[in-house]
Chains A and B, each alone.
Chain A
Amino acid sequence: MSVIAQNLIWGVRRRTIVNDVSLTVAEGETLGLIGPNGSGKSSLLRLLAGLKSPGSGRVEILGQDIARVSRRALARQVAFVQQNATTDTNMSVRDVVRLGRTPHRSPLTGWTMADEAAVSTALEQVDMAGLRGQAWQTLSGGERQRVHIARALAQSPRVMFLDEPTNHLDIHHQIEILRMVRRLDLTSIVALHDLNLAAMFCDRIVVLQGGRVVACGVPAEVLTRSLLRDVFRVEAEVTPGPYPGQPHIRFMAA
């Protein structure tokens, strides 16, 4: 198993935001994390990536308890794409993606061929090589998002956490990015709002509601009419999609 979470609990003051979540993700698997706004998806991702420490419970990544690994050692294996990251610094796209190499470089080593190769490949994978010289601040929302994904890829991770990586992307890039994430030889955990995309690209889906896991399994098992009604409060028609195991959801007005 690549990622194992056991009984994670996290909250602020009286409120429990992530409530007793356990899950496992196999090597190379793409796990979708869905749930309504405020259900705790971003919080859970931060706990899994070690950016927050749980009140109780533990997370193991690639066989190591992340509470006992140094930040740098963890960052060489785990990348995190934030829901929205911004800066006032006037940096070029290339320099932003180069930041992804931070955990692999020591203060005294120079920029190596391996670093350069990782950065170029990452930029090509997200279709941003043409804009490598542009200032990050002048990019469109979707372009920024792709640059952040490129930065995570440049980190050469074995496990990647993505928090709504497609919410600013056009439909072509939504599909391209998720297809790439799935095809890459890495374990990924992706928070998504688009349920059809989740059905198309995730091997398994975990559904969160109020900080608890209410369903977990392959898309066809999880995405049912009754679950959509109970958790997301929508009426929908779920039909088998063009490919086996990928249900198609059609939402209905009232």
Chain B
Amino acid sequence: MDDEQQGGAGRLALFLGLVLILLAVAVAFAAAIGDYRIGMGTVFLAVTNGLGLTSAEIPPIEQSVVWDLRLSRALVAALAGAGLAICGAILQALLRNALAEPFVLGISAGASTGAVAVIVLGIGAGSLTLSMGAFAGAFAAFALVAMLSNGATSGPNHTILAGVAASQLFNALTSSIVTTSGNAQQARDVMFWLLGSFGGVRWPDFQLLVLVVSAGLALCLFMARSLDAFTFGDEDAAALGVPVGRTRLILFAATALMTATIVSMVGTIGFVGLVVPHAARYVVGPLHLRLLPACAAVGALFLVLADIASRVVAHQQTIPIGVVTALVGVPFFAIILYRARPQT
């Protein structure tokens, strides 16, 4: 290994270390902050209690709030952020489009239709069926896009157009379901879900998500070099020995699976998948073996911070997380665009 590459690896390690420390601090804050404030010391003890490392005497209510409600919520937020950012990076590389993000394949629209159908039409009841509805909708949209773009082999622009068509179709379905059979309260529920919400996530969500996101990250890292080979287009990737059609299909399916799982738990949270890869690329460069871990770490930190912000900005109320990510993300994105503009 030459020193240039070692320099890059060192830089990545430093950056990852820094972001992960910040992430730990942010998660601790997320567990402490809220309408019912809990001291940091208690948070720490509640966590070690929960892990079974200690059995310190703290009020059961505080133990329960920290461990059962806030910690699981913060960790789900972190995983959702990591997953969305990874998906964004993958899609930007495969579609060779700086605007690509996890929802470009129509997945969020499909998930919304599925969830709304469950909420409004009352197919089944309870959060499990809601998730399953969202998941089914997401995969229906993905299947449609894959079909319209010939199993993802017909080129980036074609895939994006197919995604736009699928999004339009499913958004129209969602609107028609809401307007024809919704009442005011249901419309509010739907709205909240469409803008994303971490309310109501618990440990089982975390367990599923940790499995899906780490498997997704591992698969994408395994294929990182193939992703790099797409830099100069599909044909060029083929000339470098990458089986283009198969690689695209596997990676699209992986992003669809990750996105659908995330959306089915917390709704559609925009902007993370778009902004974070650009920010991470700015720091660690475009090669995916470095970019993907950086995206995961930054995405996790970003959503945990956004979740904290959504809970503290308005007293006694929670702003939808999607609103916060956009409000925080846009100025941040503007800075990156400005700093990264071509030097003329």
Contacts and interface: CB of A to CB of B under 8 A. Distances in A.
Interface of A: 46, 49, 51, 70-76, 79-80, 82, 85-91, 94-96, 99-100, 102-103, 105, 107, 110-111, 116, 133, 137, 155
B240 interface: yes
23 contacts: A71-B241, A71-B242, A72-B241, A73-B241, A74-B241, A75-B239, A75-B240, A79-B239, A82-B232, A87-B232, A89-B286, A91-B231, A91-B287, A95-B285, A95-B286, A95-B287, A99-B229, A100-B240, A102-B242, A107-B222, A107-B223, A107-B225, A116-B1
B245 to A, nearest CB: 10
Given A71-B238, A72-B241, A96-B231, A102 B225 contact: yes
B153 to A, nearest CB: 12
Contacts of A100: 240
B242 A91 contact: no
B232 A103 contact: no
A115 B158 CA distance: 36
B229 A88 contact: no
B5 interface: yes
Contact of A94 (B4, B235, B242): B4
A116 B225 contact: no
A107 B242 CA distance: 12
Contacts of A46: 235
Contact of B229 (A49, A73, A102, A107): A102
Contact of B241 (A90, A94, A103, A110): A103
A74 B244 CA distance: 14
B336 to A, nearest CB: 12
Contact of A51 (B5, B221, B238): B238
Contacts of B238: 51, 71
A143 to B, nearest CB: 15
Contacts of A79: 239
B228 interface: yes
A70 to B, nearest CB: 7
> Which 6 A/B pairs are nearest by Cβ-Cβ distance?
A75-B241, A103-B241, A72-B241, A80-B239, A85-B232, A102-B240
